[in-house]
Structure 1
Amino acid sequence: MWHGDQLDLDAYLAHLGYEGDRAPTLETLRALHRAHVLTVRWDNLDAFLRGSVSLDLADIQDKLIRRGRGGYCFEHILLYAAALERLGFTFTGVSGRIRMGTDKILPATHAMLLVTVDGRRWLSDIGFGASPLDVIELTDGNEPVIDGRRFLLRRTEITPGADGWVLHHRDAGGGWTARHTFTENPQYPADYRVGNHFIATSSHSPFVSRPFVQRIRPERTDQLDGLTWTTTAATSLSPDEERLLEPAELPKVLADTFGQDLPDAEAELLVERTERAERAR
């Protein structure tokens, strides 16, 4: 189903720096989730620069593991799911609608996994960019604090006539902001290819109009949205620093802060494409 037989599991675990037990236990799941979020980079650069993102597992492995590049949720989840399948975990793919405070009903273009271990279900959301650094048990009202970051998971009506789940995080005002909603309707690699096509190619997709890069660490989160670079401490509810970059600064910032050392040709394309996007605003 998830092409785990095509995954170089040893290479994936080595990339994560994971040397622990490989039994499908909660301890293993939590360790893999954390290692993936902290290690595997997140960006939309292929969608922004080329309008094309491959979801073939061989291409994902080459990009995210061998070349150490970043990708977005569909790439992350297919790599991660292949690893969990190889390790013997029981899980279901699901799709979510990004909210980030809006009440608009957006397309279901965020991919996650629901993993069952010893009869308990856990949300493993490793492809959000600023993802939780741990799995979150799928129980209504669950309010975990993960590395100083507060989350709230609620079961409620998420669109008219449809019940599901909402994951919230603390906002700058001390209240709760809805990150995304999701149902438990099973999703498969074929479903993710549909969402990926929209995100990578549609003029309505935010990912084709600007670079968007995120990196989370235990103590802080860095985000690049177009030319705006923000840094937020784990215990802060709003950015501690905000800087407006010039397009020519992007390659160095990506390398130094986001761990994305682009080849010269790709760095030049990023600067050129960003300059063009800024002129079109």
Structure 2
Amino acid sequence: MSDDLGYGWQGDLIDLPAYLKRVGHDGDVAPNEETLRALHRAHTTSIPFENLEIMLGRPIDLSLDAVQAKLVEQSRGGYCYEHNRLFAAVLERLGYEVTALSGRVTVGARKLLPSTHALLHVRPPGQRKDEAAWLCDVGFGAGPLEPLRFRDGEEVDQDGWVFRLQQGRTVTTWSPNTVGWELHQRGPDGWVQRHTFTMNEQFRVDFEVGNHFVSTNSHSPFATRPFAQKFRVDSLHVLDGTNLTVRRPDGSTASTSTLTPEQLPETLAESFGIVLDNDDAPRLVDFVRANPKR
């Protein structure tokens, strides 16, 4: 029976064969560290990050049926709440211990932002509590390729993409005793803090609250322009409004270009694997024409 109280991730309702086909995983699914690494890598390199439903005038539905229909059955993607809603259900179905967390994005931020990035704390079944668990971050759009161990200061090189988890004080001024974690990524100029988070457990209802803010609030960057990312082992494609950038694993820029609104549907299909329905393509073009990037 699925969880109707909102504590679990409804793993019994996941269409596991369809998900595995979508991400291209045909290996073992025994709930261990090797499977977790493989599924994380397969997910992040197969299902793109995108916020296009907002531009198309539709709400972001986090019900498992809706997320599966969009991210698994269609050639579409989603943002962190959708990705981790799906991944949590898959991992729960396989037998992992899954706890959701909430992160505060700091990279590129000019001021304190709300905690609106979904993350997952994951343990394989039977793992001892004194062993380091794993941070799964399949919904950021820019990796990591594989989960990261909760080991303070450990640097991990994943095919040239380099990450580091470290403990720190999340907001030193107002909550000096709140010790959390920071995720850093190495770029061309050194380490960059990507986001911070504490270990306070989140539930499906918390995803709903964060999702509402991100998708509807005028101060949310995702409510103002199209944003998409396609993460590959050797590159990251980023569409921000009409600006297309390709980055290398070391953080350097491989290419940049500016698109016309009319080029967006074709570029989304070719570079991101996002195929819009016939009615949605002109709707997106019209939105971008009427709302140039600010």
TM range (shorter): over 0.9
Q: Which residue does 1:164 correspond to in 2?
A: 180
* Per-residue Cα deviation, 1:193-243 (whole angstroms, up to 9, x for no partner): 000000111111100100000001111110000111000122x32212110
- Which 4+ runs in 1 deviate beyond 4 A? none
Q: Which residue does 1:59 correspond to in 2?
A: 66
Tell whether 2:200 aligns with 1:193. no
Q: In 1, distance between residues paired with 2:93 and 2:49? A: 23
Count of aligned residue pairs for this structure pair: 278
Alignment partner of 2:104: what SS?
strand
Q: CA deviation at 1:103?
A: 6.0
* Per-residue Cα deviation, 1:236-274 (whole angstroms, up to 9, x for no partner): 322121101111110111111111121121110111000
Q: In 1, distance between residues paired with 2:12 and 2:271? A: 34
Q: In 2, distance between residues paired with 1:42 and 1:188? A: 22
Q: Which residue does 1:50 correspond to in 2?
A: 57
Q: Unaligned regions of 5+ residues in structure 1, if any?
A: none
Tell whether 2:127 aligns with 1:111. no
The amino acid that maps onto 1:97 is R
Alignment partner of 1:179: what SS?
strand
Q: Unaligned regions of 5+ residues in structure 2, if any?
A: 1-7
The amino acid that maps onto 1:272 is D
Alignment partner of 1:15: what SS?
helix
Once the two structures are aligned, what percentage of the paired residues are identical? 45
Judged with a 3 Å threshold, the aligned counterparts in structure 2 of structure 1 residues 96 and 143 are, in CA distance, closer, same or farther, namely: same
Q: CA deviation at 1:101?
A: 4.2
Alignment partner of 1:143: what SS?
strand
The amino acid that maps onto 1:39 is S
Contact 2:134 2:149 in 1 (8 A): yes
In the superposition, the TM-score normalised over structure 2's length comes to 0.92
The amino acid that maps onto 2:93 is R
Q: In 2, distance between residues paired with 1:101 and 1:166? A: 15
Q: In 1, distance between residues paired with 2:284 and 2:108? A: 29
Q: In 2, distance between residues paired with 1:192 and 1:144? A: 28
- Among candidates 236, 247, 251, match of residue 237 of structure 1: 251
Contact 1:168 1:178 in 2 (8 A): yes
Taking the TM superposition and a 5 Å limit, the aligned residue runs for 1:76-155 are 76-102=83-109, 104-117=111-124, 118-119=127-128, 120-155=132-167
Q: In 2, distance between residues paired with 1:107 and 1:15? A: 32
Tell whether 2:272 aligns with 1:272. no
Q: In 2, distance between residues paired with 1:84 and 1:134? A: 14
Q: In 1, distance between residues paired with 2:257 and 2:194? A: 24
Q: In 2, distance between residues paired with 1:32 and 1:69? A: 18
- RMSD of Structure 2 on Structure 1 (CA): 1.3
Contact 1:101 1:177 in 2 (8 A): no
Q: In 2, distance between residues paired with 1:67 and 1:202? A: 27
Taking the TM superposition and a 5 Å limit, the aligned residue runs for 1:212-227 are 212-227=227-242
Alignment partner of 1:215: what SS?
strand
Contact 1:105 1:159 in 2 (8 A): no
Q: CA deviation at 1:72?
A: 0.5
In the superposition, the TM-score normalised over structure 1's length comes to 0.96
